[in-house]
């Protein structure tokens, strides 16, 4: 009978556990370290005799906590196990549940506070555009690249492949950070990416005992962490056609750029970012409220119900903002833009989940309190920038104006 381990106070409960263990005060800070604590574990064949006395198996199941406490009650002291009072154990378990609830509430509060702060900063950076936007993106790219190559070197992934040398990983991280800057300066990135890939490949080939896994992981790192984010620079800074129909631009202060500040690239970036945020929010809320059917085993917490809610929130946000910002003109274009943003964000999220799953970690890092690493926050944006830029540049005539 399998169960999760839990802890009770032996002195208060008068129960004999199936296995004994000492609990450090760091694991349970609310309990006095001077007390004797025991660890209960499952056993398929509990011994009927212990210390020369007969004991009976006493299972207690807490369905809300998904734990089963297994212990042995002294049959000589108690005539019937139904007479055993587990009040003390229940109180202790209640304390632990309250402690976990407080911890989750604290994490949620920290997540909300830092999320709002990040959102405000990102909004200001997007509005500023130009070098401000590009430098901020380059910093995020560098941090994300460092996390990616650390994941590649982690025990879960490195056990099945040979990761690139550490100095190659650092060089690749620097190259990824330079790609957005080169994109802004030159207007395109293809030649630079090809040159960087050639240099990295030659460096790996000159290493002693090169492995194809080293080359593939390094090349994918350049593509995933460096090349893809450059499309946000091309979208925000490259599409400089004025959004003439945007009423917000007419009211925009002259000191902040006036109506000329509101370009198609800015409007498209704001709609895309907002749609992705709405998709993540609606998917989380919908999954919590209605989630029943798992979406994929790559990310067990995602459900089809949450995915549908996220898609709906993304499309609705795209349509509403298109009406406010008067871009794109038709509702059909706004709906298509919402579809594209959602599937790009979902694919990016699942891809990063696959990398973390292979690495055997929950978060890509710990850079952002309450949120994990930078890749945990920007995974939905990785492929969306390229899709959004292609949609605006190719499928919408005259940049959608």
Those residues whose C-beta lies under 8 Å from the C-beta of residue 252, and which sit 6 or more positions away, are: 258, 259, 261, 262
- CA–CA separation, 293 vs 284, rounded Å? 14
Average pLDDT of span 171-181? 94
In the chain, what is the straight-line distance between the N-terminal and C-terminal CA atoms, in Å? 66
Indicate if the alpha-carbon torsion angle 90, 92, 95, 96 is positive or negative: negative
pLDDT of residue 212: 83
Residue 32, Cβ density class (10 Å: 0-12 exposed, 13-18 middle, ≥19 buried): exposed
User: What is the Cα 376 distance to its own chain's centre?
Assistant: 3
Average pLDDT of span 7-19? 40
Pseudo-torsion of CA 184, 227, 345, 133, nearest 10°? -20
Average pLDDT of span 252-280? 88
Write the pLDDT tens digit of every residue in 115-134.
Answer: 788 888 999 999 999 999 99
- Retrieve residue 88's tokens: 């003390």
Neighbouring CB atoms inside 10 A of 246's CB total 21
> Residues 176, 230: contact at Cβ < 8 Å?
no
> Residues 400, 268: contact at Cβ < 8 Å?
yes
Q: Judge whether residue 147 has pLDDT over 90.
A: yes
pLDDT bin (cut points 50, 70, 90) of residue 337 is very high
Q: Judge whether residue 385 has pLDDT over 90.
A: yes
C-alpha to C-alpha distances, 184 to 140, 220, 221, 222, 380, nearest whole angstrom: 16, 22, 21, 18, 22
pLDDT of residue 307: 95
pLDDT bin (cut points 50, 70, 90) of residue 46 is very low
Average pLDDT of span 335-347? 95
SS3 assignment for 74-102: ECCCCCCHHHCCCHHHHHHHHHHHHHHHH
pLDDT of residue 89: 53
Q: Judge whether residue 320 has pLDDT over 90.
A: yes
Write the pLDDT tens digit of every residue in 80-92.
Answer: 444 444 455 566 6
Average pLDDT of span 139-148? 94
pLDDT of residue 74: 46
pLDDT of residue 183: 93
Indicate if the alpha-carbon torsion angle 360, 365, 366, 369 is positive or negative: negative
Tell me which of 401 and 228 has the higher pLDDT: 228
Neighbouring CB atoms inside 10 A of 328's CB total 26
pLDDT of residue 40: 38
% pLDDT > 90, the chain: 40
> What is the residue extent of each domain of the chain?
1-24+35-75, 115-238, 244-401
SS3 assignment for the chain: CCCCCEEEEHHHHCCEECCCCCCCCCCCCCCCCCCCEEEECCCCCCCCEECCEEEEEEEEEECCCCEEEEEEEECCCCCCHHHCCCHHHHHHHHHHHHHHHHHHHHHHHHHHHHHHHHHHHHHHHHHHCHHHHHHHHHHHHHHHHHHHHHHHCCHHHHCCCCCCCHHHHHHHHHHHHHHHHHHHHHCCCHHHHHHHHHHHHHHHHCCCCCCHHHHHHHHHHHHHHHHCCHHHHHHHHHCCCECCCCHHHHCCCHHHCHHHHCEHHHHHHHHHHHHHHHHHHHHHHHHHHHCCCECCCCCCCCEHHHHHHHHHHHHHHHHHHHHHHCCCCCHHHHHHHHHHHHHHHHHHHHHHHHHHHHHCCCCCCCCECCCECHHHHHHHHCCHHHHHHHHHHHHCHHHHC
pTM of the entire predicted model? 0.74
- CA–CA separation, 280 vs 196, rounded Å? 34
Least confident of 6-15, 146-155, 214-223: 6-15
| Maximal C-alpha separation, the chain | 90
- CA–CA separation, 161 vs 164, rounded Å? 10
> Residues 207, 167: contact at Cβ < 8 Å?
no
Q: Nearest-CA neighbor of 339 among 368, 365, 318, 309?
A: 318
């Amino acid at each position: 009978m399998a169960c999760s381990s839990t802890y009770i106070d032996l002195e208060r409960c008068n129960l004999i556990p199936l296995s004994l263990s000492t609990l450090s005060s760091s694991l349970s800070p609310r309990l006095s370290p001077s007390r004797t604590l025991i660890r209960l574990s499952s056993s398929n064949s509990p011994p009927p005799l212990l210390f020369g006395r007969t004991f009976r198996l006493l299972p207690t199941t807490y369905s809300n906590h998904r734990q089963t406490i297994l212990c042995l009650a002294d049959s000589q002291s108690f005539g019937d196990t139904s007479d055993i009072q587990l009040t003390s154990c229940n109180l202790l378990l209640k304390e632990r549940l309250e402690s976990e609830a407080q911890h989750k509430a604290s994490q949620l509060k920290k997540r909300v506070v830092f999320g709002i702060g990040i959102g405000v900063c990102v909004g200001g950076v997007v509005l500023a555009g130009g070098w401000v936007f590009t430098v901020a993106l380059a910093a995020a790219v560098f941090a994300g690249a460092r996390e990616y190559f650390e994941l590649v070197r982690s025990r879960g992934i490195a056990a099945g492949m040979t990761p690139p040398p550490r100095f190659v990983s650092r060089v690749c991280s620097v190259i990824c950070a330079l790609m957005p800057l080169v994109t802004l300066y030159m207007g395109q990135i293809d030649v630079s990416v090809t040159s960087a890939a050639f240099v990295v490949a030659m460096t790996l080939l000159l290493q002693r005992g090169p492995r194809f896994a080293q080359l593939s992981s390094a090349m994918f790192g350049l593509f995933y962490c460096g090349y893809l984010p450059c499309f946000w620079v091309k979208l925000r800074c490259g599409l400089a056609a004025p959004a003439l129909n945007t009423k917000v631009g007419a009211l925009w202060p002259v000191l902040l750029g006036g109506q000329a500040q509101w370009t198609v690239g800015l409007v498209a970036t704001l709609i895309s970012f907002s749609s992705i945020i709405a998709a993540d929010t609606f998917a989380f809320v919908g999954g919590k409220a209605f989630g029943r059917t798992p979406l994929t085993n790559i990310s067990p917490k995602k459900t089809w119900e949450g995915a549908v809610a996220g898609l709906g929130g993304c499309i609705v946000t795209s349509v509403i903002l298109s009406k406010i910002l008067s871009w794109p003109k038709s509702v059909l274009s706004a709906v298509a833009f919402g579809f594209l943003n959602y599937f790009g964000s979902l694919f990016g999220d699942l891809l990063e989940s696959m990398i973390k799953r292979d690495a055997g970690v929950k978060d890509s890092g710990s850079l952002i309190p309450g949120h994990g690493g930078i890749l945990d926050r920007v995974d939905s944006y990785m492929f969306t920038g390229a899709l959004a830029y292609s949609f605006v540049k190719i499928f919408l005539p005259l940049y959608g104006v």
